[in-house]
Amino acid sequence: MKKASSFEKAAARCWNLLNEGKPFTPIFTVGTMVIYSVANFGKSGFLADFLLGLLAILPLLVIYYVFDFPLFLRNYLWIPLVAYLIIWNNVNLGLLFTAVGLYFFFTVFFWGTFYYHLRIGTSWLNFTRFWKLVLKNSDSTSGNAQEQLPKFLLLLSLWNFSLSEHTWSGAEIGQLILFYVGVFLFSWILHKNLFDWKPKVIPTYTSNVVATSREINQKVIVMVIDGMRKERFEEANTPFLDFLRKNGTEYARMETVYPARTVVCFSSMFTGTYPFEHGIKSNMVWKLGIKVESVFDSLRKVSKKGSLLAVAHLVDSFGSDVDTFTAVMHNDVVDRKIIERAKLIMDEKNPDLQIVQLISTDQTGHSRGVLYDEYIQKIEEADALVKEYYDWLTEKGMLENYTFIVCADHGQADGIGGHGHLDEGERFVPFFMYGPAIESGKVVEEKHSLVSLASTISYLLGAPFPNKARGPVLNEAIRKEVLINDAAKSDRISSSS
């Protein structure tokens, strides 16, 4: 399996400009303005008027960049558009129909059909389903039609009005300013009072156990099945994963982080803290690299090695600690190739910690939807591949003293498998641990967070916690006699020193 090339890494970053809702809105709006006006650019004075119109809508572009309107909040976006129609009653139907046509061409045909066909091999007829997914999607991405439509319809209407009425009177300018102030206050009040579903942040750093240099395990393997929705996992036929969780410890209410984007989730999982601290706040990473220590840094302090086998996006957070794989591959074979690459890395590097990201389930959710049989099928295929890798590690004698962890980084909602703002199906993820040091047949019902993963891995491998880790060690899963022995040895070490 090929590594992600430099071109693929750059292309992934560029794609996020069109995938993430915040940068998409201004890019699409200005692009539509240019396409609609291209025939007029040679006319005298038009360019100045065009730029003046762009300047007139700049405050609204900023407001829509600052504030997300995911889930039910998107319904409120129609109110400013209705207010515009009442105040100015100016509509260019040709411009608006052009914009709507361009939007659905981009999302349904370019993204949902052409892009997915070239990248992961979906059918040229994928548009016959994808249009329904775009209409249902609730997350703040470019594929959320119910959020993007009222945004760009209002922006384009205001731009067209300012373009046709460019000799504004003082009263009209004051009216426009008051309108923007009203939209800002409206957005701020909504987010202050209704944007209340974020998970609670753990306020203190990891302290429920004392980090020691004594290892419990020689090896920890983490299999992250990207985008595996919990209730769909429950419906799938997954005999090996069921064996692991029933004979290990399952965390029934393991909560992902906010926003539940892949790069954000992985950054939190393997630093032990939240976006405000590690600095990765979306898949669109403006400044590369996390701001805090990762579990890989912790392992280096005790001369141990970690490996993260993942898509190019994760380089934006973890840099050279990522062994990349190309995501430009048919979705029916990509997870198989990832497992083969994982075997190669284990043979060549023999890392103490290996994290493997399987992506086919997530890609199926994005391209075909999570409520269809194809999504269940990918979960079942992941089950067989995880078993194959586990059996291979056993045959190689690499699982003598180990912990095997299986989880998802986030779930997926309806529509195009959106994830980010914790709609139904996103918040709680499958999470279970298995191995000789792990309690057998235990289910932990209390709510926990994926930020606990970094501290737990560090504890199992005898490494210090990452410097900003907040998640408590998942010690409910560790056998009591192991914890007691570890505590006793730690006391003896402290006494002798």
What pLDDT score does 492 carry?
A: 45
Q: What is the CA radius of gyration of the chain?
A: 25
Q: What does the pLDDT look like over 381-425, one tens digit per residue? A: 999 999 999 999 999 999 999 999 999 999 999 999 889 999 999
What pLDDT score does 495 carry?
A: 43
Going along 213-296, which residue ranges are E strands? 219-225, 249-251, 254-255
What pLDDT score does 296 carry?
A: 98
What pLDDT score does 489 carry?
A: 57
Are 221 and 404 spatial neighbours (Cβ–Cβ below 8 Å)?
yes
Quick one: tokens of 185? 């206050």
The pTM of this model reads 0.93
The Cα–Cα gap between 342 and 347 comes to 9
Are 443 and 252 spatial neighbours (Cβ–Cβ below 8 Å)?
yes
The two counts, helices (H) then strands (E), for the chain are 20, 11
Neighbours of 57 (CB within 10 A): 25
- Low pLDDT (below 50) residues in the chain: 492-497
**Residues whose CB is less than 8 angstroms from the CB of residue 23 and which lie 6 or more positions away in sequence, other chains included:** 16, 17, 65, 284
What pLDDT score does 165 carry?
A: 55
Per residue, the 3-state secondary structure of 423-449, as one string, reads CCCCCEECEEEECCCECCCEEECCCEE
Cα distances (Å, whole numbers) of residue 453 to 42, 154, 219, 431: 59, 44, 15, 10
Q: What share of the chain is helix, strand, coil (3-state, %, to 5)?
A: 55, 10, 35
Residue found under tokens 């880790």: 469
Per residue, the 3-state secondary structure of 273-300, as one string, reads CCHHHHCCCCCCCCCCCCCCCCHHHHHH
Name the phi and psi angles at 20, rounded to 5. Answer: -70, 135
The amino acid occupying position 79 is I
270: helix, coil or strand? coil
What pLDDT score does 494 carry?
A: 44
The amino acid occupying position 111 is W
Across all residues in the chain, what is the average pLDDT? 93
What pLDDT score does 484 carry?
A: 67
> Which of 101, 128, 103 lies closest to 116, judged by CA?
128
DSSP 8-state class, residue 313:
G
Whether residue 26 is preceded by a cis peptide bond, meaning omega within 30 degrees of 0, is no
